[in-house]
Amino acid sequence: MELNDEKPRVILNEYKVTQNLPTGPTILDEQFTIRNFKRKCRIVIVRNENFEMEFDWIGIHPFLANTFRRLMLSEVPSMAIDKVHIHNNTSIIQDEVLAHRLGLIPLKADPTLFEYKSDASAEGTEPDTLEFELKIKCSYNKETSKRDSSRAEDMYKNNNVYSKHIKWVPIGNQKERFKDSDVGPIEPDILIAKMRPGHELDLKLFAVKSCGKDHAKFSPVATAFYRLLPDIKIVREVEGDDAYRLQKCFSPGVIGVRQDKNGKKVAVVNNARYDTGSRNVYRYDDLKDAVVMSKIQDHFIFTIESVGAMQPADIFKEAVKLLRDKCASLLEELNSS
């Protein structure tokens, strides 16, 4: 079934996906120009809470949407532990596994306040490195009042090693520039290792600035993804028990059942935004012709989940700056050739 509007869309049929393009030009077939981009592009922030943001990006080409997704994942920099000097490790965790775990602990450090390290083998300096230490030893808890307890927390001291045990060691004048709470692990209760009496860790940790294409630990986002805006249209009236059956074919909140002016219970579209495109409705021969499911091809729903060092909005802005700098560098190269 064709939908007569000015939005380019794909139609979700039972066994295939078809394209429905309007008669006029769309963002998919127009030549990309800054003028067209400014005229049609629009960003609407839907949700921005804690370290997660959801926004709609309307009127852009898929190549541009994917460009920003890849930039946020792999080129926006962050700080992470890159080198671990192990002076003593008598725990049961191997050195390389321990170092890998430490590298994946997200740090609060703002990467915009640090420089890239010019020489990876050189000693860290104040502008490019953060130094930490982890010194902890497990022992029997002789002060416990629960003598008969078999719980490790009662029997031992420091049996669990958490990210809160990592201590910052300022380099140069870093103590004047940062507070302890500005550069340490984002969460204090990330479990690093379990120990027993006789186990000890004595480590030096060095964090530097880099980006996700070097290693995933430097990516500032837990995830950054987008999807096309779903659109559902009920093309004929569905009432009574059929309305409730139709409601169950979709994600919660997508289809509602309301009472019309004649007192009948009829199905209506409440919010197609969170439909997953499951196409369960095609299981019912008497319902599959009642709805048309589609996705708008120039309307992207972006979700950015930050690991905590930067706000999602700041990560997106950094991606914009990176693309701007890349374009300027390319133009410079073309003009000089």
Question: Please, which pLDDT band fits residue 90 given cuts at 50, 70 and 90?
Answer: very high
- What's the confidence (pLDDT) of residue 2? 47
pLDDT tens digit string along 258-286? Answer: 988 888 899 999 999 989 988 999 999 99
pLDDT, tens only, 21-41? 665 566 666 666 777 777 788
Q: How far is CA 158 from CA 102, 153, 162, 180, 241, in A?
A: 18, 8, 9, 22, 61
Q: Structure tokens of 280?
A: 């369960």
Phi/psi at 14 (5° precision): -65, -45
Confidence of residue 4 (pLDDT cuts 50, 70, 90): low
CA distance 327 to 122: 32
In order, the DSSP letters of 153-202 are: HHHEES-EEEGGG-EEE--TTHHHH--HHHHSBS-TT-EEEE--TT-EEE
Q: Given pLDDT bands bounded at 50, 70 and 90, which one contains residue 141?
A: confident
- The amino acid occupying position 252 is P
Helices 312-336 and 62-74 cross at an angle (nearest 10°) of 110
Query: Closest by alpha carbon to 322, among 73, 117, 39, 118?
Result: 73
Average pLDDT rounded to a whole number, residues 52-78: 93
More confident residue, 84 or 179: 84
Task: Say whether domain 9-75+223-235+290-302 belongs to CATH 3.30.1360.10.
Answer: yes
By C-alpha distance, which of 241, 126, 135, 132 is closest to 172?
126
User: Residue type at 36?
Assistant: N
Specify the pLDDT at position 26.
63
DSSP bridge pairs for 88: 202
Residue 303 near residue 21, CB atoms below 8 Å: no
Residue 88, pLDDT score: 96
Judged against a pLDDT cut of 80, whether residue 310 lies above it is answered with yes
Chain mean pLDDT for the chain: 90
CATH of 78-218, one of 3.40.50.300, 2.170.120.12, 2.60.40.10, 3.40.50.170: 2.170.120.12
Q: Which residue has the higher pLDDT, 132 or 26?
A: 132
pLDDT greater than 90 at residue 221: yes
**3-class DSSP state for residue 259?**
strand
Q: 27-41, 185-199, 239-253, 322-336: which has the minimum mean pLDDT?
A: 27-41
The residue ranges of DSSP E strands in 13-138, in sequence order, are: 17-20, 42-49, 52-58, 78-89, 129-137
CB 95 within 8 A of CB 86: yes
> Which residues sit opposite 248 in a β-bridge?
none
Q: What is the mean pLDDT of residues 189-196?
A: 95
- pLDDT, position 294: 92
The rounded percent of the chain whose pLDDT value lies above 70 is: 94
pLDDT band for 328, please (50, 70, 90 cuts).
very high
Q: Is pLDDT of 3 > 90? A: no
Residue of higher predicted confidence among 154 and 324: 324
CB 183 within 8 A of CB 168: yes
Is residue 304 predicted with pLDDT exceeding 90?
yes
Going by pLDDT thresholds of 50, 70 and 90, the confidence category of residue 313 is very high
Reported confidence tier of residue 154, pLDDT bands at 50, 70, 90? confident
8 Å CB contact between 82 and 207: yes
In this prediction, residue 35 carries a pLDDT of 77
At residue 20, the pLDDT reads 76
Beta-carbon count within 10 A of 27 CB: 20
**Rounded mean pLDDT of 38-50?**
88
Helices assigned H by DSSP within the chain: 34-40, 62-74, 95-103, 152-155, 174-177, 180-183, 241-248, 312-336
Query: Can you read off the two tokens belonging to residue 235?
Result: 């093309």
Residue spans per domain, the chain: 9-75+223-235+290-302, 78-218
Lowest mean pLDDT among 54-58, 119-123, 239-243: 119-123
DSSP 185: B
Give CA–CA dist 223/150, Å, rounded: 41
The pLDDT of 302-309, averaged and rounded, is: 93
Mean pLDDT of 139-147: 79
